[in-house]
Amino acid sequence: MHIVGSGFLARSLGPLADRHPDTVVLAAGVSWASGTSAADFRRESDLLREWSDRCAATGRRLLFFSTASTGMYGRVAGRAAEDMAVEPCTPYGRHKLAMERQLADSGADFLVLRLAHLVGRGQPPHQLLPVLARQVREGAVQIHRGASRDLIAVDDALTVIDRLLALRLRGETVNVASGSAVPVERIVDWLEHRLGTRARREYRSAGARHCVSTAKLLRLVPEAAGLGFGTDAYPLKALDAFPLGPPRSAGTAAAPS
């Protein structure tokens, strides 16, 4: 595959670089879910147009990463499936949906993967886990009341992406998520336990809570069930992909319940 980009996602895709030679992977877009920069959105749109035109001319497939975050699905009732009508609730979500539609109209073969929150080594500092870890270390963490997030370990995401690309899908949108939404407070519990400290919790207005449907993913990639997707144990497995050093010894902090 040809990987466009050099950030966290692009670097994480490195182990797949020698596979799927018919595919161009666009991993250079906006990755900041709370971002609202019109200039950044325009740059991603221009980059998508450039590469979709190239793929249409050469017959290669373009893989585009969208989002399964609250920005896209936060207003969906029940489990958020790919074929549901969505009304994104953030500028980032609206932008990603517009990019999906732009790609669908481009004439290129494509695959859209709506990603949950990836967890792994080398995450940029603006993403969820690095932000919460930094706040816990500093002694005060901000939490949107009732918010939850679907987390997926980056190695598990690579396994799923590899399998999906091997199916030679065209014109499809697939959620790449665990299907298990973990409350942000539990993520903070885990960080406190691993860091051996307590932080003051500052609650903000109610946050979005949604559950991502993985029915299509599990139909296409049954092996994902063996990774633990959708189980109560999976969120802690995903969190363990975030490097914080070895767990603290018993007694330094209570384990998350």
Walk across the sheet containing 61-67 and list its strands.
2-4, 23-26, 61-67, 109-115, 172-176
Average pLDDT in the chain: 90
Q: What is the pLDDT averaged over residues 230-238? A: 91
**pLDDT tens by residue, 13-45:** 999 999 999 999 999 977 666 666 788 899 999
Domain 2-239 fold is Rossmann fold (3.40.50)
- 91-104 and 38-58 helices, crossing angle to 10°: 20
b/e for 132-158, b at 16 or more Cβ within 10 A? bbebbeeeebebeeebbbbbbbbbbbb
How far is Cα 237 from Cα 146, in angstroms, rounded to an integer? 22
Give the pLDDT band (50/70/90) at residue 255: very low
Least reliable range by pLDDT among 51-60, 125-134, 154-163, 240-249: 240-249
Q: Where are the domains of the chain?
A: 2-239
For the chain, first and last CA: distance in Å? 42
Question: Which of 188, 166, 177, 192 has its CA nearest to residue 247?
Answer: 192
**pLDDT tens by residue, 127-175:** 899 999 999 999 999 998 888 999 999 999 999 999 999 999 999 999 9
- 8 A C-beta contact, residue 29 and residue 44: yes
